Amino acid sequence: MRLYRTQNGNYIANEGAHYRVEDSSWDGLVTREDLYDYCRSVVERGVVAHDFSEAAILAPIESQEVWAAGVTYYRSRSARIEESKDAGGGDFYDRVYSAPRPELFFKATGRRVVGPNGKVKIRSDATWSVPEPEMTLLISPKGRILGYTAGNDMSSRDIEGENPLYLPQAKVYDASCALGPCIFVSRSALPVETGIAIEIVRDGAIAFSGATSLAELKREPEVLVSYLYRDNSFPQGCFLMTGTGVVPPDSFTLASGDEIRITIDQIGTLTNTVA
Ligand code: DO4
Ligand code: MG
């Protein structure tokens, strides 16, 4: 089942039909520990809605925080070692890739998150910016993985490469994060074959494309969640981006007008334009 937040309310899509969720706000819905069973009960009630509009889809977030894991794929480890070698930061990325404790960082509040077809931003003081396509977990207040969405962890590589202590500035700014188009609500983990693909279209042509799969993700989602929830409470639930396994070549930087398409199996395609 797919759960959508839209301008006209919340909807569940299942086997080609849409069902309106009448009795709950978005925060109320995504903090339900029994979200899967609740969505199933709405579908089983069988009242099909005919007013679902793709054009009205919003980012699937209200009061939740967005956090992110880093250096969870070998490709990210190598790219970070390369970008920070002049700053002497390379050793840290190798160590965090292998250490039991993952890298976790705060990414965004709902206000900084862009939904499907919205405009993501590159920092005005950055010279090297990339999107990061990341499978993103929706987690309940008690730490249960309720569902999955697609995320874009927009990153300023020159700023984080200059000094790893600049990471928050490279990662957290207005419209630095995109989520959507839906929450894929499931009781089972996504299979390791799940594909994550990105295309960047510039002037009508593909400027970059790449793909990975969850088989390349070094850490179990549950382990990432257990570290995030240690001594840290999330009464409204939260999102956790699980890291990127696709990094464009060092010669590539995003430009205004680029269209970014991130596709994850089961979830769909998150499309955004660079402001
Ligand atoms: O350590 C820097 C950020 C890593 C990251 O965002 C990623 O691997 O996806
Ligand atoms: Mg990332």
- For ligand 1, whether the C-beta of 240 sits within 6 Å is no
pLDDT at 169: 98
Query: How many domains would you assign to the chain?
Result: 2
- For ligand 1, whether the C-beta of 76 sits within 6 Å is yes
- For ligand 1, whether the C-beta of 71 sits within 6 Å is yes
Atom 1 (ligand 1) nearest CA? 70
The residues, ordered by sequence, that sit 6+ positions from 84 with a Cβ below 8 Å of its Cβ are 90, 92, 93, 160, 161, 163, 164
Do 28 and 34 contact (CB within 8 A), yes or no? Answer: no
Same domain, 91 and 51: no
Same domain, 50 and 69: no
Give the span between the Cα atoms of 236 and 146, in whole angstroms: 13
Give the span between the Cα atoms of 97 and 216, in whole angstroms: 13
Q: What's the pLDDT tens digit per position in 55-107?
A: 999 999 999 999 999 999 989 998 988 888 888 766 889 899 999 999 999 99
Atom 7 (ligand 1) nearest CA? 70
Q: What is the mean pLDDT of residues 198-223?
A: 98
Beta strands in 1-102, from DSSP E residues, in sequence order: 2-6, 9-14, 17-21, 48-49, 65-70
Range of the domain at 9: 2-56
- For ligand 1, whether the C-beta of 161 sits within 6 Å is no
Give the span between the Cα atoms of 176 and 272, in whole angstroms: 11
Same domain, 90 and 44: no
Q: Which ligand is nearest to the CA of 95?
A: 1
Query: Band of the pLDDT at 34, cuts 50, 70, 90?
Result: very high
pLDDT at 249: 96
Give the span between the Cα atoms of 175 and 20, in whole angstroms: 29
- For ligand 1, whether the C-beta of 70 sits within 6 Å is yes
Distance 157 CA to ligand 1 centre (A): 10
pLDDT at 95: 92
Give the span between the Cα atoms of 270 and 100, in whole angstroms: 31
pLDDT at 91: 83
Same domain, 115 and 81: yes
Q: What is the mean pLDDT of residues 147-171?
A: 96
pLDDT at 24: 84
In 48-141, which ranges are continuous DSSP H helix? 74-83, 90-98
Q: Which CATH number covers residue 109? A: 3.90.850.10
Closest ligand 1 atom to Cα of 72: 8
Task: Calculate the average pLDDT of the chain.
Answer: 96
pLDDT at 89: 66
pLDDT at 82: 87
pLDDT at 149: 98
Query: Band of the pLDDT at 152, cuts 50, 70, 90?
Result: very high
Distance 206 CA to ligand 1 centre (A): 24
Same domain, 102 and 43: no
Same domain, 105 and 213: yes
Q: What's the pLDDT tens digit per position in 93-139?
A: 989 999 999 999 999 999 999 999 999 999 999 999 999 999 999 99
Continuous segment of H or E residues that includes residue 139: strand 133-139
Strands 133-139 and 238-241: antiparallel
**Lowest mean pLDDT segment, chosen from 8-17, 20-29, 189-198:** 20-29
- For ligand 1, whether the C-beta of 244 sits within 6 Å is yes
pLDDT at 90: 62
Q: How many CB atoms lie within 10 A of CB 88?
A: 10
